[in-house]
C-alpha cells in the first residue's frame, strides 16, 4: 500500500517539476501513453460473496458519486450484481439514480441505527437490471453524532453489510467528502478503496491525508484494506497543467493508478438531470466507454 511519504512526493508544487517531465507532458498525453489492451471479463456461474469497495476522497466535487453510479452500471453490463450504498447525507447518489430519497421513511440511517432494520429492508431497485441502491438523505447527518457513543462504532456498517453480501458481486460505497466516522465505517467495511482524483493541483494536496487515514484504518481496524486504484477524473488533454498533475500521480503511485481516465464531458451533468448512468443515457459516448474500461480493470483486480 502507498504511504504518506509516497503521497507527499505527489504534491510538490508544479514549479518544482524537472524540465524533462514538463517537456514530456507538453509533447504527449501521459494517459494515452499508458493505455494497454484490457482483458474481457469472464462470465459468472454464481453470485456472491460481494467485494466491498469504498469510493473515497475528502475533497468534494472530484467525481465520487458520478464514478460510483457509472462503475456500478458498467459492472452490471458484465453480468455482475451490484449494490450501491449512499453514505453521504446530501444524498447525491440517490438523486443521480432518480430515487426520491428525501421523501423516504427508511434509508441507510435506519439500517445503521436500528437493530431491527436491515439493508434488505431499505434497499430499492433501480431502472438498471442487477443494480440496487441503499438510499440516503439528510437524516444520515445525525448518525455521525449518535454513533460516537456506540460500542465498536467503526464496525457498524461492516456488521450491517453481512446480511446482503451473498446477494451481490460488488458493493460500492459512495462516501461523503470528509474523513469522519461514516467514512471510517466505510473503510472498515471495505476490502478496497478507489480514490477519484481530479487532475488539478489542489486536489493532490489532500491525497497524503487520505492515504494516511487509510493506513491507520488498515493498521488498527481492517488489515485486509488496500487501495484498489486511483482514478483520474475531469481529465483534459488540452491543458499542460492537467497532464503534469496526472504525470505526478503516476510518478508517486505507479501501477496503483488506473489506466482508465475520465475526461471532461457535458454528458455527465445531463445524466444527473436524467437520473440515469451514462451507460444508458449515452451508451456510445466516450464517457460510457471509459467506465466500461474501468469496470474491466476493477474486475481484473
Residues 226-258: tens digit of each pLDDT: 999 999 998 888 888 888 889 988 988 888 999
- Distance, CA of 269 to CA of 154 (rounded, Å): 34
Listed by start position, the domains of the chain span: 4-35+46-300
- On whether the CB atoms of residues 68 and 93 are closer than 8 A, the answer is yes
Confidence grade of residue 202 (pLDDT, cut at 50, 70, 90): confident
Does 144 score more than 50 pLDDT?
yes
Residue 131: name the closest of 83, 164, 175, 95 by CA: 83
DSSP 8-state code for residue 89: T
State the average pLDDT over residues 100-123: 91
pLDDT tens digits, 241-300: 888 889 988 988 888 999 999 988 767 777 777 778 988 888 989 899 999 999 999 999
- Distance, CA of 226 to CA of 294 (rounded, Å): 17
pLDDT reported for residue 86: 95
- Distance, CA of 45 to CA of 218 (rounded, Å): 32
**Span of 77-91, 131-145, 160-174, 257-271 with lowest mean pLDDT:** 257-271
As a CATH number, domain 4-35+46-300 is 3.40.50.300
Q: What is the average pLDDT score of the chain?
A: 87
State the average pLDDT over residues 73-101: 93
Does 187 score more than 50 pLDDT?
yes
- On whether the CB atoms of residues 83 and 118 are closer than 8 A, the answer is no
What is the DSSP annotation of 235-250?
A: E-TT-HHHHHHHHHHH
In this structure, are strands 170-175 and 51-55 parallel, antiparallel, or unpaired? parallel
State the average pLDDT over residues 108-124: 93
Does 171 score more than 60 pLDDT?
yes
For 79, counting Cβ atoms within 10 Å of its Cβ (0-12 exposed, 13-18 middle, 19+ buried), the class is: middle
pLDDT tens digits, 20-73: 444 444 458 888 888 888 989 988 888 889 999 999 998 888 889 999 999 999
Q: What is the chain's alpha carbon radius of gyration, rounded to the nearest angstrom?
A: 19
Confidence grade of residue 15 (pLDDT, cut at 50, 70, 90): very low
Percent of the chain at pLDDT > 90 equals 52
Bridge partners (DSSP) listed for residue 84: 133, 172
Amino acid at each position: 500500500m502507498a504511504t504518506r511519504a509516497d503521497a507527499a512526493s505527489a504534491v510538490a508544487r508544479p514549479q518544482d517539476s524537472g524540465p524533462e517531465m514538463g517537456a514530456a507532458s507538453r509533447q504527449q498525453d501521459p494517459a494515452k501513453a499508458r493505455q494497454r489492451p484490457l482483458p474481457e471479463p469472464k462470465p459468472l456461474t454464481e453470485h456472491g460473496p460481494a467485494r466491498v469497495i469504498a469510493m473515497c476522497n475528502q475533497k468534494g466535487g472530484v467525481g465520487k458519486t458520478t464514478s460510483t453510479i457509472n462503475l456500478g452500471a458498467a459492472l452490471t453490463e458484465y453480468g455482475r450484481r451490484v449494490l450501491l450504498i449512499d453514505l453521504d447525507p446530501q444524498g447525491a447518489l440517490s438523486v443521480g439514480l432518480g430515487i426520491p430519497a428525501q421523501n423516504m421513511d427508511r434509508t441507510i440511517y435506519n439500517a445503521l441505527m436500528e437493530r431491527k432494520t436491515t439493508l434488505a429492508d431499505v434497499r430499492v431497485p433501480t431502472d438498471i437490471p442487477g443494480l440496487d441502491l441503499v438510499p440516503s438523505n439528510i437524516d444520515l447527518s445525525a448518525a455521525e453524532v449518535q454513533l460516537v457513543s456506540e460500542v465498536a462504532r467503526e464496525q457498524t456498517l461492516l456488521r450491517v453489510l453481512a446480511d446482503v453480501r451473498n446477494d451481490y458481486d460488488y458493493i460500492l460505497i459512495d462516501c461523503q467528502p470528509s474523513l469522519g466516522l461514516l467514512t471510517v465505517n466505510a473503510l472498515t467495511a471495505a476490502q478496497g478503496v478507489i480514490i477519484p482524483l481530479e487532475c488539478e493541483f489542489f486536489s493532490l494536496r489532500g491525497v497524503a491525508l487520505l492515504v494516511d487515514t487509510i493506513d491507520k484504518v488498515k493498521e488498527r481496524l481492517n488489515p485486509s484494506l488496500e487501495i484498489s486504484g486511483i482514478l483520474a477524473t475531469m481529465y483534459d488533454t488540452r491543458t499542460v497543467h492537467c497532464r503534469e498533475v496526472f504525470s505526478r500521480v503516476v510518478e508517486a503511485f505507479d501501477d496503483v493508478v488506473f489506466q482508465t481516465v475520465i475526461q471532461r464531458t457535458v454528458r455527465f451533468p445531463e445524466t444527473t438531470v436524467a437520473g440515469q448512468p451514462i451507460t444508458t443515457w449515452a451508451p456510445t459516448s466516450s464517457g460510457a466507454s471509459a467506465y466500461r474500461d474501468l469496470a474491466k480493470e476493477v474486475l481484473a483486480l
